[in-house]
Amino acid sequence: MTADELDKRQAIIDACLRMNALGINQGTSGNISVRHQDGLLLTPTSVPCEAMTPDQIVFMAMDGSHSPGQRPSSEWRFHRDILKSRDDVNAVVHAHPTYSTTLAIMGMEIPPVHYMIAAAGGDSIRCAPYATFGTVELSEHAVRALEGRLACLLDHHGMIAIGKTLDKAMWLAVEVETLARQYHGCLQIGQPPLLSSAEIERVRQRMAGYGMSDE
């Protein structure tokens, strides 16, 4: 294994641990992938982050094949399909954070309640329709909900954030959960007033190069 590959494997584990520390992961539910050579490096299924070792990270080719004996995340399909269909993206983060998942259970998207929604690429964070975890159908729904966007919710399931780098995808995952929490808070008071699509577009332009934004 090259030093570059080992670094990527360790960075995936570190990001997993960070999701735990931030309270974004629920149990072993989160999974992460990073583009590597002509495939992807992906977290193993059902291994707690604290117990994950670099050799357990699975290298998967774009046809879904991997070394026998390795156990890729049950969500490998949408990780593979997102990386395959989006050459602007090199990292995929999936988790079941409480506020994002609460909205997803209600089948709600996140509307433009705050200008930071522009960091996810548009004036809403869509909610992909429900399909059983690990299925082709779920992957198709996720890829569609992410069209032109860098994040989506998954009905009755959780959220996905993607980015040019793992750091950017992680930053966005935290931001999406913050937006979900803010929207949830607003809904306790009433229907929040929304920013216009034109304003979100203006923010998107201004954000170019700002912080961890992918724009």
What does the block give as tokens for 85? 């269909």
Question: Does position 130 bind ligand 13P by CB under 6 A?
Answer: no
**Cβ-based neighbours of 106, under 8 Å, separated by 6 or more:** none
Residue 27 CB, nearest distance to ligand 13P (Å)? Answer: 9
> Is 137 a known active-site residue?
no
Q: Among the candidate windows 24-32, 62-70, 113-121, 123-131, which touches ligand 13P by CB under 6 A?
A: 24-32
Question: Does position 178 bind ligand 13P by CB under 6 A?
Answer: no
Binder of ligand 13P out of 25, 29, 100, 124 (CB under 6 A): 29
| Closer Cβ to ligand 13P, 74 or 196, answer by number | 74
Residue whose token pair is 């959220």 = 159
| Closer Cβ to ligand 13P, 45 or 178, answer by number | 45
Binder of ligand 13P out of 115, 133, 186, 207 (CB under 6 A): 133
Q: Are the beta carbons of 157 and 101 closer than 8 angstroms?
A: yes
d(CA 65, CA 178): 36
Question: Does position 73 bind ligand 13P by CB under 6 A?
Answer: yes
Question: Does position 28 bind ligand 13P by CB under 6 A?
Answer: yes
C-alpha distances (whole Å) from 9 to each of 6, 29, 77, 90, 121 are: 5, 18, 19, 14, 28
Q: Are the beta carbons of 158 and 169 closer than 8 angstroms?
A: no
Q: Is the dihedral of CA 179, 181, 182, 184 positive or negative?
A: positive
Residue 28 CB, nearest distance to ligand 13P (Å)? Answer: 5
Q: Which residues bind ligand 13P (CB under 6 A)?
A: 28-29, 31, 43, 45-46, 73-75, 133
Catalytically active residues are 75
